[in-house]
Amino acid sequence: MPAQETAKVKTEVPLLFSKRLTVLNRIGLHLRTAARLVKTASAFDAEIHIASGRRRASAKSILGLLALEVGNGKEVTVTAEGHDAHEAICKIKCFFAKGLGEEESQVKDVTT
């Protein structure tokens, strides 16, 4: 009778990163900037969400992002979970820092 081998189970701890940002874009997050954010977030495998107040949406959903109604001066929390979550957060922070792709550096990092 052949010996049975026990399979080694590799358990990964999910990586979760979060960053709070204040948007200082004159128009805020609107259709064009939401589309750019979706394109940026979709480049990653991580689950990425943007929260504003009590609302939360996938950063990969244009309609979800628009429903957040993120205007100038609003604080948002970006969370990402997955193997490339840290890279995703950094890229999205950079996107916000570039005025959501429309203006010069206009984002204030509220995390100390």
User: Is-catalytic flag, 30?
Assistant: yes
From the list 30, 49, 83, 86, the catalytic residue is 30
Positive or negative, the CA dihedral 56, 60, 61, 66 is: positive
Q: Which of 93, 50, 44, 94 is nearest to 68 (CA)?
A: 50
DSSP helix/strand/coil, 94: helix
Task: Report d(CA 48, CA 46) in Å as an integer.
Answer: 6
Q: Which of 18, 15, 16 is nearest to 110 (CA)?
A: 18
Which residues form the catalytic set?
30
